[in-house]
Amino acid sequence: MENDNSGLKGETNMKSPFYNRRSFLFSAGLASAFTALEPFGLLSPASAIGLAPTRSMRGGSNNYRPNAPMVDRLGSGFWVSGRVRRAGDGAPLEGVRIQIWAATTLGGEREPRNHGSVLTAADGSFRLEMEQIVPNFGQPHAHLAYDDGAYETVFLRPVMPSASDTSVSTEFVLAPV
């Protein structure tokens, strides 16, 4: 623009070639389509087909030791619990193996005594008693994994709101492979 005044004059006098009804409708359409997509969720693929699968959490697989032994309990006083459902129809999944590990009063996340697996009941629920979880790397948290092939693998890392909590609960929604 050579001169501010002439530019302003020009714009008010002519039909703006840069922004008309067609471009407004086009950009508005793009914007609404965009909001319907993933982060805004108005029309996410998951809601179209029902219950969305759980995504793995950052750091969820850290210090994972595949095939933790099936256990009745790993200790006492702290409960890790949750529920496993199928993506889409939300049906509870029975007999699914969930692997659990965490830093407890027995030691860190790599301590074998802090690793164990449980199976889900008919209603999809699971729970495991272990020693008190203690903050590890700055946060009190547990690790849970589904990694058995029939569904997409999921690693969770739920954080306890308080280090003095005596339980932590989470949920898996698994997508068939």
- Contacting positions for another protein (CB under 8 A): 57-59, 61-63, 103-110, 134-140, 157, 159, 163
- CB of 162 vs another protein, minimal distance in Å: 9
> Cβ atoms within 10 A of the Cβ of 139, count?
11
**Residue 44 or 136: which CB sits closer to another protein?**
136
Q: Which of 155, 151, 156, 153 is nearest to 175 (CA)?
A: 151
- CB of 106 vs another protein, minimal distance in Å: 7
Radius of gyration of the chain (CA): 26
- CB of 110 vs another protein, minimal distance in Å: 7
CB 125 within 8 A of CB 81: yes
- CB of 135 vs another protein, minimal distance in Å: 4
The whole-angstrom separation of Cα 66 and Cα 79 is: 21
First to last CA, the chain: 59
